[in-house]
Structure 1
Amino acid sequence: MPDTDLWTTERMLTTAARLTENAWNERLHALGITHAAFITLRTVEAHGPLSQVELADHLHVTAQTVGRTLARLGQQGLVYRHSSESDRRTFVVSLTEPGRSLLSEAERHEREFALDLQRASPELRRLLMKVIEDLLPARFPSNGVEQAGQNS
Structure 2
Amino acid sequence: MATKLLVKDILAAIDLNAKNVWRELSDDERKQVSFWLLNRYASSVKGSREKTELALFKTNEYYNKNWNVLGGTKHNNLQWQLLCVSGNTGKIEYHEWIGLKQKNNPNNKEIKLLQKLYPNMKLDEIELLANISTKKEIKQLVEDHGINE
TM-score of the aligned structures, taking structure 2 as reference length: 0.22
Tell which structure's C-alpha radius of gyration is larger: 2
Between Structure 1 and Structure 2, the one with more strand by share is: 1
Higher relative contact order, structure no. (Cα contacts within 8 Å, ≥ 6 residues apart): 2
Question: What TM-score, normalized to structure 1?
Answer: 0.22
Greater share of residues in helix: 1
